[in-house]
């Protein structure tokens, strides 16, 4: 689903599939842009089997039920009769049909484990993408050819997530994400250095007598940030109360329950027990004070209107003692994208239903993306040197940078920027 739009506009181009009978839907991970309209697609393609990893299914269940609640509230705000796009009951029924799959194990589209030498049927296999809990890249084998879709990927370790482990075998067609295609990594950047810079910035914000708002995705960025703050506490650098949203708490609980299963760093860290964050929700956010000396790590990451981070930002944006720190990707046109590039004293409208405000709070950017750097995406594509590379999941400038670079570095490969809604012969 498109994170920037609402209602029917946010749906993927399902019309393009109208006359097709889909055999299988293979889900890379549970971020909203990937699973947000899954029940709608399943309704229109009732025969399709649906495959994902076990953590992805647990998280998707929580996120989709949360979406139903959000859409039900928006139904009145927006006056859209399309909402909710699906119900709690339909979400339960959809989830009953999901089949969970292990990593690094080929399956047929019937959901059976495929023999290693199966050249007859179409098979797929999940690989750890190092992006968020449960995230995968997907290897599809058909007609003696191999297609690999990266999903959203990170080739470097984060604080919790370990770097992706992707296939090194011969790939004919690579479908690759381009999120950070227009963001160069500064030569001096290191995760350790960036963590130090964040710690200092939080310390300075508290010295100014204010609080810090960090808009984060409920899935992934919240848990990575909590783990970072845990390290600050453990190393006795900083210790302070932390606030998160109710949805983030539910997903952190899944991280905690699965801490010892599968690959991750800090496997003994129980985020909720160790950090004891205060939990805010759609009701309590309206009375929540901006208390000095506290960090508010609230979703949504893009500060979409009416979400916790948006409501809280509107409370502090015109006050010089408070701070807003950005730690990951935000669509340039989203409220987070607008605020992160706002100049001091500029007027911004964070919610179209509310008056514009003057930006007087302190704003800083940090680079803790859950997505691969463009340099590592290029290196991966060049190592595989596939016959075709299909560029997806990027703003136009990001896709164009990747296209130009790959076209010059891989002259024997066809570099494809697919047109939405147009069938592509692979």
Closer of 67 and 357 to Zn ion (Cβ): 67
Which of the ranges 31-39, 49-57, 102-110, 156-164 carries the binding residues for Zn ion, by CB under 5 A? Answer: 31-39
Closer of 33 and 318 to Zn ion (Cβ): 33
Closer of 114 and 225 to Zn ion (Cβ): 225
Which of the ranges 148-156, 190-198, 267-275, 297-305 carries the binding residues for Zn ion, by CB under 5 A? Answer: 148-156
Instruction: Give the one residue of 26, 31, 35, 249 binding Zn ion; rule: CB under 5 A.
Output: 31
The contact mask relative to Zn ion for 80-119 (x = CB under 5 A, - = no) is ----------------------------------------
CA nearest neighbour of 105 among 136, 59, 147: 136
Closer of 45 and 369 to Zn ion (Cβ): 369
Residues 347-386 binding Zn ion (CB under 5 A) are none
Which of the ranges 20-28, 32-40, 269-277, 353-361 carries the binding residues for Zn ion, by CB under 5 A? Answer: 32-40
Min dist CB 393 to Zn ion, Å, is 6
* 152 touches Zn ion by CB under 5 A: yes
Closer of 1 and 229 to Zn ion (Cβ): 1
Min dist CB 128 to Zn ion, Å, is 14
Instruction: Give the one residue of 33, 253, 382, 409 binding Zn ion; rule: CB under 5 A.
Output: 33
Closer of 152 and 195 to Zn ion (Cβ): 152
Min dist CB 231 to Zn ion, Å, is 23
Which of the ranges 30-38, 81-89, 142-150, 325-333 carries the binding residues for Zn ion, by CB under 5 A? Answer: 30-38
Closer of 40 and 361 to Zn ion (Cβ): 40
∠ CA(357), CA(10), CA(371), 5° rounding? 80
Which residues lie across from 347 on neighbouring strands? 358
Q: Which residues bind Zn ion (CB under 5 A)?
A: 31, 33, 152
């Amino acid at each position: 689903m498109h994170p920037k739009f609402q209602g029917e506009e946010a749906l993927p181009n399902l019309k393009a599939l109208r006359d097709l009978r889909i055999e299988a839907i293979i889900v890379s991970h549970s971020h909203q842009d990937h699973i947000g309209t899954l029940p709608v697609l399943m309704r229109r393609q009732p025969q399709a089997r649906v495959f994902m990893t076990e953590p992805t299914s647990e998280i998707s269940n929580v996120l989709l039920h949360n979406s139903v609640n959000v859409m039900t509230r928006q139904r009145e705000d927006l006056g859209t009769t399309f909402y909710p796009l699906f119900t709690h009951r339909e979400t339960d029924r959809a989830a009953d049909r999901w089949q969970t799959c292990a990593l690094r194990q080929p399956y047929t589209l019937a959901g059976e484990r495929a023999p290693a030498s199966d050249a007859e049927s179409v098979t797929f296999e999940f690989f750890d993408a190092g992006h968020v809990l449960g995230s995968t890249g997907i290897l599809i084998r058909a007609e003696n050819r191999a297609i690999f879709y990266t999903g959203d990927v990170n080739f470097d370790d984060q604080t919790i997530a370990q770097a992706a482990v992707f296939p090194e075998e011969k790939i004919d067609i690579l479908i690759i994400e381009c999120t950070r295609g227009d963001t160069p990594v500064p030569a001096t950047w290191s995760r350790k250095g960036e963590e130090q810079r964040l710690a200092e910035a939080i310390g300075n914000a508290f010295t100014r007598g204010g609080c810090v708002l960090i808009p984060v995705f409920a899935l992934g960025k919240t848990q990575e940030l909590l783990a970072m703050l845990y390290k600050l506490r453990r190393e006795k650098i900083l210790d302070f109360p932390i606030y998160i949203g109710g949805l983030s708490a539910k997903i952190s609980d899944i991280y905690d329950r699965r801490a010892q299963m599968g690959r991750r760093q800090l496997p003994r860290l129980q985020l909720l027990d160790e950090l004891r964050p205060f939990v805010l929700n759609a009701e309590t956010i309206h009375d929540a004070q901006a208390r000095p000396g506290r960090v508010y790590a609230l979703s949504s990451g893009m500060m979409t209107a009416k979400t916790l981070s948006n409501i809280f930002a509107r409370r502090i944006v015109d006050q010089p003692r408070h701070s807003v720190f950005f730690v990951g990707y935000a669509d340039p046109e989203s409220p987070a994208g607008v605020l992160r590039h706002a100049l001091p004293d500029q007027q911004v409208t964070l919610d179209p239903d509310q008056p514009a405000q003057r930006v007087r709070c302190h704003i800083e950017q940090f680079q803790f993306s859950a997505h691969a750097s463009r340099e590592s995406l290029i290196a991966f594509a060049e190592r595989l040197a596939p016959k075709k590379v299909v560029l997806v999941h990027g703003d136009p400038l990001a896709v164009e940078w990747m296209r130009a670079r790959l076209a010059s570095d891989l002259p024997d490969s066809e570099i494809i920027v697919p047109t939405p809604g147009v069938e592509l012969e692979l």
